[in-house]
Amino acid sequence: MIKLVDKYLELNNFLNAKKEFEDLFLSHPNYPSLFAITDSLNTLSIDNIVIKVPKEQLNELPNSFLAIFNNDLVLVDKTESSVVIETEKGKRVTLAIDDFSEGWNGVVLAIEANEAQEEKIVSENPKWLKYGILFLALIVLSSFYNDYKIYDYGLLITSLLGLLISVFIVQEKFGIDNQIVSKLCNINPSTSCESVIKSDNEGANKWFGFSDLPLLFFMTSVLAILIGSTNSFLVGFLSLMALPVIVYSIWVQKFQVKKWCVLCLSISALMIIQGIVWAFESGFRLNFTLTNLFQYLFSLIVVSSLWSVVKPVIEARLKAEESVKNLTKFRRNFTLFEFLSKEITTLEGFDKLEGIHFGNSNATAKISIIISPSCGHCHKAFQEAFELIWKFPEKISLNVLFNINPDNNQNPYKVVVERLLMINNVNQENIVEAISDWHIKKMGLELWLKKWTVDSISMKVNQQIQEQYDWCSQNEFNYTPVKILNTRLYPSEYELSELKYFINDILENNETIERDSLVYM
């Protein structure tokens, strides 16, 4: 599903939302359901709709949308006379309108196109470019002290190609997504690299699996040829000697798995080419020396040792990422979130506290944070809450309150609260910049006081500070920040930024409560 939604996001100019969508979708408690897709899109503030429409209204739908076709999610690109569907495996099929309607259940998922033009984020130093430059530099360096011939370069190039394909095979084994490989491996229904590569879970031994062997062979070959050009003959000879392994691989694909692995066949083809080159140039004569054999064994030991260290690190990292996803799914359980939310001891008078308000006052989720200008953790709490209301301006509101003793004139930060509340009462258009300067930009006290001056502190501001301090004292809030969601304490086990996961649950919960209250009226 991820690949289809990613492509649909790209078609609608949400290039920069793809990575965040993947993280949200994979960690969603209801993954991999359609609800998990829509909920993740809602979390990203991407307007979307899932609706079941009559099949005769197909022509009225947008040119591109996601649909359920033969019980699978597909990306639809329709014209007046035909429909092109793309499956999760990257297969594209052109259907007549009637044929599509027959397999389509009428369910459509559509998103509102992004009018703002996003620039595709491109890494400044792509990995393939760095590795490509590294190998090119090694080849140039090796050429200075080696006398390469045409067939030496041929065997080196085929070994480099084999190394690249071997990396793709290992990625497939580890489950690392690669769109190019995915398209190649699912070019038609009879091909599936994943089925073949993962068909043998036993492996060759406890250190290396069969999927590791092409990587070890071609990496060793590249290193050996770079060390000495005459080692290419040994590489070609070993490729020819691997013919029984190639035959066995083809037999497994044909009769056991009954699927073809494009990557495996490419590896086999490259090894056959290397064997033919050796046979053609050597006339089947074993014209390599003990030095060649020693250099090849040295390369094999280096490569094997390196891979035996790197492979466990990769596996551990992938397992850690999977554990994080599972943990995130657990944390995103709304029932757990509600359970950890605690009641406030004394709620009376809370709704009368006048703080600094941001966002929609009728929002579903009302956040109140009680902070202190001298508290370092309060900077983070305010910034997270502020980012939420800018991201969800209609669904979240923020009320900033302060817990500071109005009688403590020794506190040098008391004046910050006084001026913030005064600016909020008199020059409200400046309050965003003023509070951001302090809690987000973390401007120094002297500089901030110099920038934000007021004529005098009103009685209303002093009363606000006193009321907020008294209410905190009643609830024994002798710490900051205090985070409140609607009328309950925000769970201390969660960061405020994680509230985005539960906005739709809170909205649905409030609607249920409202319906129930109407029923019993």
Higher pLDDT, 192 or 424: 424
Burial pattern 439-477, b for ≥16 Cβ within 10 A else e, equals beeebeeeebeeebebeeeeeebeebbebbbebbeeeeb
Report the distance separating Cα 333 and Cα 342, nearest Å. Answer: 16
pLDDT band at 136 (very low <50, low <70, confident <90, very high): confident
* CA distances in angstroms from 92 to 79, 86, 154, 187, 200, listed in the order given: 15, 4, 36, 9, 30
Confidence of residue 188 (pLDDT cuts 50, 70, 90): confident
**What distance in Å separates the CA atoms of residue 106 and residue 101, rounded to the nearest whole number?**
8
220: amino acid identity, one letter: T
Residue 127: CB atoms within 10 A of its CB come to 8
Please, are residues 190 and 252 in contact by the beta-carbon 8 Å criterion?
no
Which one has a higher pLDDT value, 206 or 164?
A: 164
Average model confidence (pLDDT) for the chain?
Answer: 85
Q: What is the pLDDT of residue 209?
A: 67
User: What is residue 40's predicted lDDT score, i.e. its pLDDT?
Assistant: 87
Q: Predicted confidence band at 116 (pLDDT cuts at 50, 70, 90)?
A: low
Indicate the SS3 state at residue 182. helix
Asked whether the beta carbons of 419 and 480 are under 8 A apart, the reply is no
Q: How many residues does the chain have?
A: 521
- Tell me which of 268 and 178 has the higher pLDDT: 268
pLDDT of residue 415: 95
Report the candidate in 436, 434, 370, 357 with the shortest Cα–Cα distance to residue 401: 370
What is the per-residue pLDDT across 368-396, written as a single tens digit (0 to 9) for each? Answer: 999 999 888 999 999 999 999 988 888 89
pTM of this prediction? 0.68
Does residue 409 register a pLDDT over 90? Answer: no
Per-residue pLDDT tens digits for 267-308? 999 999 999 988 888 777 777 788 889 999 999 999 999 999
The DSSP bridge pattern shows strands 356-359 and 104-111 to be unpaired
Apex 68 CA angle, 335 and 53, nearest 5: 95
Highest mean pLDDT: which of 2-16, 38-52, 191-205, 401-415? Answer: 401-415
**Cα distance between residue 466 and residue 402, in whole Å:** 10
* 252: helix, strand or coil: helix
Q: Specify the pLDDT at position 165.
A: 92
Position 32 scores a pLDDT of 81
Q: Please state, in angstroms and rounded to a whole number, the distance separating the CA atoms of residues 220 and 239.
A: 12
Domains of the chain plus CATH, in order, are: 2-111 (3.90.70.10), 132-326 (1.20.1440), 339-519 (3.40.30.10)
- Amino acid at residue number 258: K
Q: On the CB side of 369, how many CA atoms lie within 13 Å of its CA?
A: 29
The half-sphere exposure of 86 on its side-chain side, counting CA atoms within 13 A, is 18
The residue ranking higher by pLDDT, 93 or 200, is 93
Tell me the residue ranges of DSSP E strands in 21-71.
48-52, 64-69
Question: Phi and psi for 314 in degrees, rounded to 5?
Answer: -65, -45
Question: Distance between CA 514 and CA 521 in Å, rounded?
Answer: 11
Q: Is the CB of residue 103 less than 8 Å from the CB of residue 46?
A: no
pLDDT in tens, 311-324: 999 989 989 888 88
CA 363 to chain CA centroid, Å, is 29
Query: Which tens digit of pLDDT belongs to each residue from 454-513?
Result: 989 999 999 999 999 999 999 999 889 999 999 899 999 999 989 988 888 888 777 655
What contacts 24+ positions apart, CB below 8 Å, involve 57-64? Answer: 58/97, 58/100, 58/101, 58/104, 61/108, 61/110, 62/110, 64/8, 64/11, 64/12
- Which amino acid makes up residue 521? M
- Alpha-carbon dihedral sign for residues 478, 484, 487, 490: negative
**Displacement of CA 297 from its chain's centroid (Å):** 41
Query: Which DSSP state fits 255?
Result: I
Token duo for residue 410: 């020794």
Lowest mean pLDDT among 12-16, 116-120, 227-231: 116-120
Q: What is the SS3 assignment for 509?
A: helix
Integer Cα distance of 14 and 36 in angstroms:
18
- Among the listed residues 12, 2, 21, the one whose alpha carbon sits nearest the alpha carbon of residue 77: 12
What span, in angstroms and rounded, lies between the C-alpha atoms of 51 and 30? Answer: 19
Question: Would you say 169 and 215 are in contact if contact means Cβ atoms under 8 Å apart?
Answer: yes
Nearest to 89 by CA among 183, 197, 154: 183
Question: Containing H/E element for 246?
Answer: helix 243-251
Q: What tokens does 440 get? A: 């987000």
SS3 state at 140: helix
Question: By C-alpha distance, which of 347, 404, 365, 337 is closest to 485?
Answer: 365
Secondary element (H or E) of residue 110: strand 104-111
In the chain, % of residues over pLDDT 90: 38
In this prediction, residues 332-348 reach a mean pLDDT of 91
Q: How many helices (H) and strands (E) does the chain have?
A: 20, 12
